[in-house]
Amino acid sequence: MTYCVGMRLDAGLVFLSDSRTNAGVDQVGTFRKMSVFENPGDRMMVLMTAGNLSISQSIRQLVTEHVSEDGESIWTAASMYEAARMLGEAVRTVHKRDAEALTEFGIDFNVSIIFGGQIKGERCRLFQIYAAGNFIESHNESTYFQIGEAKYGKPIIDRVVNPATSLDEAAKCALISMDSTLRSNVSVGLPLDLLVYETDSLTVNRFVTIDERNQYFQMIRSTWAHQLKAVFEGIDDPVWDAAPDATANVLSSTNMHSKPVRVQVPSHLDKSAGSQPSKLQSLAQQFGSKQP
């Protein structure tokens, strides 16, 4: 599995990916999920993939080499939208070629892609491309995309990132998001690839591969864990069975009548029943009393 996140901000773009693949407990490998298409001064585009590794690699190779009959390619596309459309066509081409054979072996056609960057003459753009080759684009209401094991790192991004967030703040948030995922899911692992792109630079000038020895990431991991625990401990405990007029930290009060849904205890285990006869015994007694 994997985890990748891409963010589109007013100041530029942030991309972060892990490098773990997992085909079973004894088949864990390291494959980098981020690829950069860069022609300095003209375009800078980033592709990140999750899902079946063989499918992802086939798509990347196909879109890298493909030139249409009219000479168009990802290297000459007039816009990021056109480049995303070409990538979607590559997904469908690989599906047409391989999906049926994969199905025969019980393998789903599983791939998801984050694709973003800037082509000279237009703004930064960010897309998420699905296994059917269709895609959506990020706007101010949805400034980021995640693929792979997204759920663990989502809460921090939702609370922090917006279009006005600075690139360094967004990179820090992405790394915290990744740390949360690393702690909760063993199918995501180091090293990480982090690329931070400033609008209109049209080249890669801020990129780093992060392993367990990276000083900043070590600081992020230890500081975030410490601060999160401190914030948790600073929140007051709940007050149970408070007086009706209490106002601070009341979870339940004496005038509340909350009750759980209780399952009836079997009669032979119900101690509260005492020596009372069961329904069957009562019926037998009633029947016996009617005999002459």
pLDDT of 90-99, one tens digit each? 999 999 999 9
Structure tokens at 44: 């800078």
**pLDDT score recorded for residue 187:** 86
Say how far apart CA 105 and CA 64 lie, in whole Å. Answer: 28
Q: How many other C-beta atoms are found inside a 10 Å radius of the C-beta of residue 146?
A: 23
Among residues 1, 4, 7, 77, which one has the least CA distance to residue 44?
A: 77
Using an 8 Å Cβ cutoff, are 76 and 67 in contact?
Answer: no
Question: Residues for the chain: how many in total?
Answer: 292
Q: Say yes or no to pLDDT of 287 above 60.
A: no
pLDDT of residue 26: 60
Handedness of CA 213, 219, 222, 228 (dihedral sign): negative
pLDDT in tens, 77-127: 999 999 999 999 999 999 999 999 999 999 999 999 999 999 999 999 999
Closest CA to 12 of 121, 146, 168, 128: 168
Domains contained in the chain, CATH given:
3-230 (3.60.20.10)
Between CA 144 and CA 23, with CA 48 as vertex, the angle to 5 degrees is 120
Query: pLDDT tens digits for 52-85?
Result: 999 999 999 999 999 999 999 999 999 999 999 9
Do residues 168 and 176 lie in contact, with contact meaning Cβ atoms separated by under 8 Å?
no
Number of neighbouring beta carbons within 10 Å of residue 264? 6
Residue with tokens 């399952």: 263
pLDDT digits (tens, 9 = 90+) for 216-241: 999 999 999 999 999 999 999 999 99
- Nearest C-alpha neighbor of 32 from the set 7, 50, 14: 50
In angstroms, the CA 47 to CA 127 distance is: 10
Burial of 30 (0-12, 13-18, 19+ CB in 10 A): exposed
> Which sign does the torsion angle of CA 99, 101, 104, 107 carry?
negative
CA 150 – CA 177 distance, rounded (Å): 9
Q: For the segment 232-280, what is each residue's pLDDT rounded down to a tens digit?
A: 999 999 999 999 888 899 999 999 989 999 999 998 898 776 655 555 5
Residue 34: strand pairing partners: 48
| Segment among 14-18, 47-51, 279-283 with least mean pLDDT | 279-283
pLDDT given at position 272: 72
Q: What local confidence, expressed as pLDDT, does residue 102 receive? A: 96
**Could you read off the pLDDT of 125-171 as tens digits, one per residue?**
999 999 999 999 999 999 999 999 999 999 999 999 999 999 999 99
- List the alpha helices (DSSP H) in 105-193: 154-160, 167-184
Question: Given this model, what pLDDT does residue 291 score?
Answer: 55
Q: Which one-letter DSSP state was computed for residue 44?
A: E
What's the whole-model pTM score?
Answer: 0.88
